[in-house]
Amino acid sequence: MREQGTISIHTENIFPIIKKSLYSDHEVFLRELISNAVDAIQKLKMVSRAGEYSGEIGEPEIQIAIDKDRKTLSISDNGIGMTAEEVKKYINQVAFSSAEEFIHKYEGKDQQIIGHFGLGFYSSFMVAQKVEIDTLSYQAGAPAVHWSCDGSPEFILEDSSRSDRGTTITLHLMEDEQEYVEDARIKQLVKTYCDFLPVPIKLNGEVINQQKAPWRESANNLTKEDYLEFYRYLYPFQEEPLLWVHLNTDYPFILNGILYFPKLRPDVDVTQGQIKLFCNQVFVSDHCEEIIPRFLLPMRGVIDSTDIPLNVSRSALQTDRTVRKIADYISRKVGDRLKELYRDSREEYIKVWQDVGTFVKFGSLNDEKFKKQVEDIVIYRTTYETPVVAASSPATETPAVQVQAEEGDAWQDVQPAESTPDSGTGVQENAPTTSSYTTLKEYLERNKERHENRVYYCTDEVTQATYVELHKKQGLEVLFMDSFIDTHFISFLEREYSDVKSSRVDSDLDQTLLDKDKAGEIVDPTTNKTRSELIKELFEKALNKPKLNIRTEALKSDDPQGTPPAMVLLPEYLRRIQEMSAFVQQQTAQFPDDHILLVNTAHPLIQNLVSLSQGSIIQGEGQSPSAELANSICQHVYDLALMAQKGFNAEGMKSFVERSNQVLTRLTDRATSA
C-alpha cells in the first residue's frame, strides 16, 4: 500500500501557523504526545475488558528514544494502535480539523489561555519539520501502517514492517528545536507535565516518572506520612505543612486534590498561587488564581479536574459557572476540615491557629458563605488564665484552653523559629510561652458582669505591656489582636456584632481601673487646690502643649509604685481616623498631638513632684532649682509614657537623652552633697 494525499483542511495552509507557533511554550507538544500514548494504553484495556480483544496486553509502557545524529525524538506506546483507516480519519481529518478550529479561534487574539490544553497531535509541528507515525492496531489482521508528513498538507501513507502492537511517533526536529534531543530536557519535561501519569515512561530504559497520583487515591488509603511525603515531593526543602484537606467529588463536577496549609512566611507573596492544576493527572499550570478562592491562594498542593475549561482565556475562566462552583466547593471543604479539627482536637487547632487563623480571618472578610461557616471557630489569644489545662476538650462553652503556642505574628516575626515539626499535622512542637485562647462568644459570656459587650484588645504586646498589665491586675480580660489582618478584622467584628464595642487597652481606662477617692484630697490650704489640680497645673506649665489633654487620676493598686506614673491614651475613634487616613494616603499613621496624658496621682513620684514644686513656691523664687527639677521630671514622665506608645523622632530622642543625663547629674549632685 502506498497512498499519497492532501490533508483535508479548509484553511490554505495551517502548517506555517502551527510552526510560527501560536504558543510560546512549544514544549507542550511532549505532554500532548504522551497523553495520546496513555490514552491508547487505556483504550486497549477498555476493549480488552469489553471482550473485544483477547490478545496479551503486556506491561503497559511508554518509551522515549532520542537519536542525536538523526535529530529525532520518538514516543512509543504499546497501546491500541491504529489501522490505516483510523490514521486517515483520526490524524488526517480529526486532528487537523481540530487544529484548524483552534487556530481560527485564537488567531490574532492575544489571549492568555490557561493550559493550551488538548492541542493534540498537530502540536508536534511546532517543533518538527517532519512527523512519522508507525502503528499496528490491536485488530486482528490489520496491517501495520506508516504515515509521514513533512509539514505541508501532503501526507504519505504506506505499509510498515512493524510487528508489535502500538504506535511510535517520530519527530524530525527543526534546527532551532534541538533542545529536545537532550536527555535532561526531556526528563525535566516529563517531570513537569507527566510525572503522575499512571503508566511508566522510560527514557533509555529508565523509568522517569513518579506514576502515583496520591490525590486520586481515597483518603482512607493514605497515611499522614503519605501526605507529608507528597508535600515534600512537591515542595522540597520547605517547612512541613500544618494541615491538609483531601478533595474528592464526582458530582456535580469531577474534582480531586490535596490542599495543604503551609506555615506562612513574611516573604511569601500571598497574591501568587502555589497550587498546581492538573487535568487527568497531566500538569496544566501552577497559576490557577482564577479557580482557587482568593483567600486560599497561599495554600499549596494539587487540584485535578476535567471540568475546568482549559482553552479559554483567564477572564472567561473567572466567570465560568463550573469554576465558580468548584471555588465554592473548595472553600466549603476547607471550612469543614477546620471545623472538624476544632471539634476533635482543639489543642491541635490552637497550635496551627497562628497561620491558619490568617486564612480564616481573610476568608471571613472576603467570603460571606465561608464567614458563616467558620464564625464559631475564630479564636483569640487572651490574658485569661484557666486554672486547669483542658486539652482536647469539646468546643462548647469551655473556658479558654491553654496550649503551648508560638509567640507573635508570623508576618512580623521574620526570624524563623527553631522548630522540630512532628509527623502528625506538622504542628510545631516548640513552645516559648503558654497561651490561652478563647472565642469571642466565650469572652463576652465570661465578662458579661464586668463589661457587657465590651472587648478590650491589644495590638502590640510589647509597647502596650503596661496597659495590658493594668487591665490584667484588675481582672479585666484582654484579647491579643496582633496579626497584620486584625486591624481590618476588628472593624469587621464591629459590623458583624453591632452591639459589641471594642477598645484598645491604651485608648481609655475603664472606671474600674481608677480610684476615685484619692484624687480629690486638698493638699494646698492657701489656694484650696486639690492634689489633682496642682498636678495638672504643674504638667501643663512644664509641657506647654496646648493640644495635649492632661487628666489626673489615681490608678487603683495595692502597690502604687508598681503602676506607671503616667500613661498616654489615644481615644479609640481618634486612633481609627488616624489609621484610616494613613491607609488612604498609604503612609504610616502619625501620632496625633491631641492625645491624653493621664497622670497617676497615686504614684509616689507624682506625689513627690507636688512636694518639690510646693517647696519652690514657699521659697518664692521665680525659677528655683527645685522648680526646674520638677519641670524636667514632668517632661521626663511624659516622654516615658509617650515612648511606650510611639517612640521618638530624632529630635525627641536627642532631648530625651540630654534630659536624662541632666536629671541623673542633679540626682548624683544631691547624693554627693548630702
Ligand X SMILES: Nc1ncnc2c1ncn2[C@@H]1O[C@H](COP(=O)(O)OP(=O)(O)OP(=O)(O)O)[C@@H](O)[C@H]1O
Known binding-site residue numbers for ATP: 32, 36, 77, 82, 167, 314
Which CB sits closer to ligand X, 38 or 317?
Answer: 38
Q: Which stretch binds ligand X (CB under 6 A): 62-70, 117-125, 311-319, 466-474?
A: 117-125
| Contact residues for 237 (Cβ-Cβ < 8 A; gap 6+) | none
* Positions in 19-38 near ligand X (CB under 6 A): 32, 36-37
Specify whether the CB–CB gap between 13 and 153 falls below 8 A.
yes
State in angstroms the smallest separation of the CB of 168 from ligand X. Answer: 8
Q: Residue 319 to residues 299, 308, 315, 324: CA-CA distances in angstroms?
A: 22, 12, 7, 7
Q: Which stretch binds ligand X (CB under 6 A): 92-100, 376-384, 427-435, 474-482?
A: 92-100
Determine which residue in the list 18, 72, 77, 78 makes contact with ligand X, applying CB under 6 A. Answer: 77
State in angstroms the smallest separation of the CB of 487 from ligand X. Answer: 49
Work out the number of other CB atoms within 10 angstroms of the CB of residue 306: 12
Which CB sits closer to ligand X, 167 or 425?
Answer: 167
State in angstroms the smallest separation of the CB of 167 from ligand X. Answer: 4
> Which residue of the chain is nearest ligand X when measured via CB?
120
Determine which residue in the list 23, 47, 90, 111 makes contact with ligand X, applying CB under 6 A. Answer: 90
Whether the link from the prior residue into 252 is cis, omega within 30° of 0, is yes
282 binds ligand X (CB under 6 A): no
Work out the number of other CB atoms within 10 angstroms of the CB of residue 453: 13
State in angstroms the smallest separation of the CB of 180 from ligand X. Answer: 18
98 binds ligand X (CB under 6 A): yes
* Binding residue count for ligand X, defined by CB under 6 A: 17
Residue 194 pairs in a beta bridge with none
82 binds ligand X (CB under 6 A): yes
- Nearest Cα neighbor of 130 from 107, 147, 111 is 147
| Residue spans of alpha helices (H) in 21-121 | 28-49, 84-86, 96-106
Burial annotation 7-44 (CB, 10 A radius, 16+ → b, else e):
bebeeeebbebbeeebeeebbbbbbbbbbbbbebbeeb
Determine which residue in the list 18, 44, 79, 595 makes contact with ligand X, applying CB under 6 A. Answer: 79
Which CB sits closer to ligand X, 142 or 268?
Answer: 142
Residue type (1 letter), 65: A
Contact string 385-404 vs ligand X (x = CB under 6 A): --------------------
Which CB sits closer to ligand X, 95 or 509?
Answer: 95
Determine which residue in the list 120, 363, 564, 571 makes contact with ligand X, applying CB under 6 A. Answer: 120
State in angstroms the smallest separation of the CB of 40 from ligand X. Answer: 3
Q: Give the integer Cα–Cα distance in Å for 87 and 167.
A: 11
State in angstroms the smallest separation of the CB of 28 from ligand X. Answer: 11
Which CB sits closer to ligand X, 306 or 611?
Answer: 306
Instruction: Map residue 396 onto helix, strand or coil.
Output: coil
Strands 206-207 and 201-203, sheet pairing: antiparallel
Which CB sits closer to ligand X, 94 or 417?
Answer: 94
115 binds ligand X (CB under 6 A): no
Q: Give the integer Cα–Cα distance in Å for 247 and 302.
A: 10
Q: In the chain, helix, strand, coil percent, each to 5?
A: 40, 20, 40
Task: Lay out the sheet containing 72-77: strands in order across.
Answer: 2-6, 154-159, 145-149, 128-136, 166-173, 72-77, 62-67, 201-203, 206-207
State in angstroms the smallest separation of the CB of 282 from ligand X. Answer: 10
| Residue spans of alpha helices (H) in 76-182 | 84-86, 96-106
If you write DSSP's letter for every residue of 550-603 in order, what string do you get? EEEEPBP-S-GGGS-SEEEE--HHHHHHHHHHHHHTTSPPPPPSS-EEEEETTS
Which CB sits closer to ligand X, 118 or 625?
Answer: 118
40 binds ligand X (CB under 6 A): yes
60 binds ligand X (CB under 6 A): no
For residue 123, which phi and psi values (nearest 5 degrees)?
A: -65, -15
Task: For residue 511, count CB atoms less than 10 angstroms from its CB and return exposed for 0-12, middle for 13-18, buried for 19 or more.
Answer: exposed
73 binds ligand X (CB under 6 A): no
Q: Which stretch binds ligand X (CB under 6 A): 116-124, 180-188, 452-460, 499-507?
A: 116-124
48 binds ligand X (CB under 6 A): no
State in angstroms the smallest separation of the CB of 192 from ligand X. Answer: 18
DSSP annotation of 284 reads E
Which CB sits closer to ligand X, 145 or 514?
Answer: 145
Determine which residue in the list 9, 57, 94, 431 makes contact with ligand X, applying CB under 6 A. Answer: 94
Instruction: Map residue 413 onto helix, strand or coil.
Output: coil
Work out the number of other CB atoms within 10 angstroms of the CB of residue 385: 13
Which CB sits closer to ligand X, 79 or 564?
Answer: 79
State in angstroms the smallest separation of the CB of 98 from ligand X. Answer: 6
- Nearest Cα neighbor of 155 from 176, 178, 125, 195 is 125
* Positions in 123-182 near ligand X (CB under 6 A): 167
For residue 7, which phi and psi values (nearest 5 degrees)?
A: -65, 130
Determine which residue in the list 111, 118, 212, 226 makes contact with ligand X, applying CB under 6 A. Answer: 118
91 binds ligand X (CB under 6 A): yes
Determine which residue in the list 14, 84, 95, 637 makes contact with ligand X, applying CB under 6 A. Answer: 95
Q: Which stretch binds ligand X (CB under 6 A): 62-70, 73-81, 521-529, 554-562?
A: 73-81
State in angstroms the smallest separation of the CB of 37 from ligand X. Answer: 5
State in angstroms the smallest separation of the CB of 36 from ligand X. Answer: 3
Which CB sits closer to ligand X, 136 or 598?
Answer: 136
Specify whether the CB–CB gap between 89 and 209 falls below 8 A.
no
Which CB sits closer to ligand X, 197 or 247?
Answer: 197
| Contact residues for 611 (Cβ-Cβ < 8 A; gap 6+) | none
State in angstroms the smallest separation of the CB of 339 from ligand X. Answer: 39
Binding-site annotation: residue ranges: 32, 36, 77, 82, 167, 314
Q: Give the integer Cα–Cα distance in Å for 579 and 588.
A: 8
Which CB sits closer to ligand X, 167 or 439?
Answer: 167
Which CB sits closer to ligand X, 118 or 198?
Answer: 118
Which CB sits closer to ligand X, 139 or 345?
Answer: 139
Q: Which residues bind ligand X (CB under 6 A)?
A: 32, 36-37, 40, 77, 79-80, 82, 90-91, 94-95, 98, 118, 120-121, 167
